[in-house]
């Protein structure tokens, strides 16, 4: 009998979870643009909205579908599933029902799509923790502020009280432990610094240093995300992104420098995630296996305390 360890039976879908317990960091904006970017690249994408209260991701794709129907312009759409809020007075009953609905949704889509993007609320719940444990790629956007860093590592003027692993980082580390136990899976954690100012301030430099130190300790990859651009907000009502053919409605058919920069930022964001990509003659499942091996090697070979 062979004693070789069995490779995990990987899903065909690569699950991207966009999450952070801190609100207002741009989670839905990242979810929207990652999804549309993957659709534009020709991938089969499903999306799940776990934010049963705000439902920003759901509203965006409702707007996108409505605009496509009224304008007659064909727009790429994912298979979308939005969870409804539990209406029972018993919290346990609500969690049980929501878990069942979420599990059914994942079971229906995990083998029919190449990517699943899950947008999460800014809260800690059983469902939130379950979503984290399903992640292949976990994307945590933060604003360039020590208030946002504080959910990862305790920020304090007293060095003796500084640096303790904070509540959200602890949630992710627990999800990683559970994932390894269940299927030996690897969660690639990417921390995105969103809304970084164009001109570097002393505050931004200090945050960059702090995030760099945390990256080695918590084993995440730090990257720059999306700037705070008007275009990300003004296109929401019609369900469009900078990746869509917005030049058709621009004056003279020419985009502004800011619009072009927004389009480039989205492309760079998706490149940063290092997702398994389809290549000629290679199945997406094979690409998933290659991604798993590459990420496993990355973390095995990373020296203690290395960046």
pLDDT per residue of the chain (307 residues) written in tens, 0 to 9? 334 434 444 568 899 999 998 888 899 999 999 999 999 999 999 999 999 889 999 999 999 999 999 999 899 999 999 987 666 666 667 777 777 888 888 888 888 899 999 999 888 888 888 899 889 999 999 887 777 787 877 665 555 555 667 788 889 999 998 888 877 788 999 999 887 765 566 767 777 788 888 888 888 998 888 888 888 889 999 999 999 988 776 666 677 888 888 999 999 999 999 998 877 777 777 777 777 777 777 666 654 444 4
Predicted local confidence at residue 56, as pLDDT: 95
Predicted local confidence at residue 306, as pLDDT: 44
Q: What is the model's pTM?
A: 0.84
Predicted local confidence at residue 241, as pLDDT: 94
Predicted local confidence at residue 86, as pLDDT: 63
Predicted local confidence at residue 8, as pLDDT: 42
* Separation between Cα atoms, residue 104 and residue 108, nearest integer Å: 6
| Structural class in CATH, domain 14-301 | alpha beta
Predicted local confidence at residue 20, as pLDDT: 92
Predicted local confidence at residue 162, as pLDDT: 53
Predicted local confidence at residue 307, as pLDDT: 41
230 CB neighbour count, 10 Å cutoff: 10
Q: Where are the domains of the chain?
A: 14-301
Predicted local confidence at residue 62, as pLDDT: 97
Predicted local confidence at residue 277, as pLDDT: 83
């Amino acid at each position: 009998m062979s004693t070789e360890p069995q490779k995990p039976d990987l899903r065909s879908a690569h699950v991207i979870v966009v999450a952070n317990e801190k609100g207002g960091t741009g989670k839905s904006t990242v979810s929207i643009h990652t999804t549309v970017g993957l659709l534009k690249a020709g991938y089969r994408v499903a999306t799940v909205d776990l934010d049963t209260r705000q439902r920003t991701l759901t509203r965006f794709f409702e707007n996108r579908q409505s605009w496509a129907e009224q304008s007659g312009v064909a727009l790429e759409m994912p298979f979308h599933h939005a969870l409804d809020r539990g209406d029972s007075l018993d919290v346990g009953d609500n969690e049980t029902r929501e878990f069942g609905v979420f599990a059914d949704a994942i079971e229906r889509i995990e083998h029919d799509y190449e990517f699943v993007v899950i947008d999460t609320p800014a809260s800690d719940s059983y469902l939130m923790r379950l979503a984290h444990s399903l992640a292949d790629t976990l994307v945590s956007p933060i604003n360039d502020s020590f208030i946002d860093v504080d959910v990862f590592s305790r920020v304090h003027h007293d060095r003796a009280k500084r640096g303790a692993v904070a509540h959200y980082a602890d949630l992710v580390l627990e999800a990683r432990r559970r994932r390894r136990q269940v299927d030996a899976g690897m969660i690639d954690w990417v921390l995105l610094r969103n809304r970084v100012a164009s001109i570097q301030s002393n505050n931004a430099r200090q945050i960059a240093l702090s995030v760099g130190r945390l990256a080695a300790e918590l084993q995440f990859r730090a990257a720059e995300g999306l700037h705070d651009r008007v275009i990300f907000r003004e296109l929401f009502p019609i369900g469009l992104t900078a990746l869509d053919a917005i030049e058709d409605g621009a004056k003279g058919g020419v985009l502004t420098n800011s619009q072009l920069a927004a389009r480039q930022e989205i492309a760079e964001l998706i490149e940063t995630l290092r997702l398994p990509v389809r290549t000629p003659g290679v199945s997406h499942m094979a690409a998933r296996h290659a991604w798993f091996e590459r990420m496993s090697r990355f973390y095995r070979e990373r020296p203690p305390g290395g960046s």
